[in-house]
């Protein structure tokens, strides 16, 4: 959450005393609290309030907690903390396998619940943006080591990937063959001649569906090297 913005927690629990106890402790810690007394009402409250986290009881009227969790996970990655009085491991594991982030067994300490909510909110905090390089229909995902052209994935060797990355990082910049060799080979020896780049570029063009006579992506600069158009 941004500084000064209070996180909203939706408590889906049919025991009014538990709801009020959790509301007291959560509000004391600065959270906004919404509540619902059955599974169906909980789904409706979720759509209305769009909470930052959900505390979800396993045993609920109308729709049980497992089904509510299943439906929430079908459309949202909201952090979910499950409450249960049923202590057998099957229920716990089933709840977590459906996408719950954590669980607490009854009776519980409200302070522990607040601490668990803070933990799952922290885990679900903003993630680093994917490192993407794009040029027209060409996209490179550096983290996933994945290249696509118009949404179609292209299988590249490590050398081809490094070569394309160098070109994508500096579009329109003209690279000499020797400069590209330095980018794709950590320590190239004299046996790795400049013309090896021509071979790699040729293979890369084939995979990208690029016509060297009328290139969409990799253009040849005569007497110098290559650039990304």
- Mean predicted confidence (pLDDT) in 57-67: 90
| The pLDDT of residue 93 | 54
* DSSP, residue by residue, 179-221: HHHHHH-TT--TTS-THHHHHHHHHHHHHHT--SSS-SSEEEE
- What domains, with CATH codes, occur in the chain? 8-123 (3.40.50.2300), 132-228 (1.10.10.10)
- Residue bearing tokens 């990937």: 161
Residue 144 to residue 159: CA distance in whole angstroms: 16
Which of 12-26, 93-107, 176-190 has maximum average pLDDT? Answer: 12-26
| The pLDDT of residue 2 | 41
What is the chain's length? 229
| The pLDDT of residue 77 | 87
Residue 137 to residue 148: CA distance in whole angstroms: 8
Residue 188 to residue 194: CA distance in whole angstroms: 10
| The pLDDT of residue 159 | 86
pLDDT tier, 177 (very low <50, low <70, confident <90, very high otherwise): confident
- Residue bearing tokens 């057998």: 88
34 CB-near residues (< 8 Å, 6+ apart)? 8, 9, 10, 11, 45, 48, 49, 51
| The pLDDT of residue 41 | 96
17 CB-near residues (< 8 Å, 6+ apart)? none
- Residue bearing tokens 């400049």: 194
pTM over 0.75: no
138 CB-near residues (< 8 Å, 6+ apart)? 147, 148, 149, 168, 208, 217
| The pLDDT of residue 81 | 94
């Amino acid at each position: 959450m941004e500084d000064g913005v209070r996180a909203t927690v939706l408590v889906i629990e049919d025991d009014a005393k538990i709801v009020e106890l959790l509301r007291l402790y959560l509000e004391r810690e600065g959270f906004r609290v919404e509540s619902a007394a059955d599974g169906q009402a909980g789904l409706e409250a979720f759509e209305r309030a769009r909470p930052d986290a959900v505390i979800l009881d396993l045993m609920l009227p109308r729709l049980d907690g497992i089904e509510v969790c299943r439906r929430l996970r079908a459309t949202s990655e909201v952090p979910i903390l499950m409450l249960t009085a049923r202590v057998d491991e099957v229920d716990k594991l089933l709840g977590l396998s459906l996408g719950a982030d954590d669980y607490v067994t009854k009776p519980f300490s409200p302070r522990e619940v607040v601490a668990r909510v803070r933990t799952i909110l922290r885990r679900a905090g903003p993630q680093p943006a994917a490192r993407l390089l794009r040029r027209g229909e060409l996209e490179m995902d550096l983290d996933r080591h994945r290249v696509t052209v118009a949404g179609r994935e292209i299988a590249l060797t490590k050398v081809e990937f490094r070569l394309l990355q160098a070109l994508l990082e500096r579009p329109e910049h003209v690279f000499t063959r020797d400069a590209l060799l330095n980018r794709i080979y950590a320590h190239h020896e004299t046996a790795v001649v400049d013309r090896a780049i021509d071979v790699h570029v040729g293979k890369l063009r084939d995979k990208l569906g690029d016509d060297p006579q009328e290139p969409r992506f990799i253009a040849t600069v005569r007497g110098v090297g290559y650039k990304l158009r």
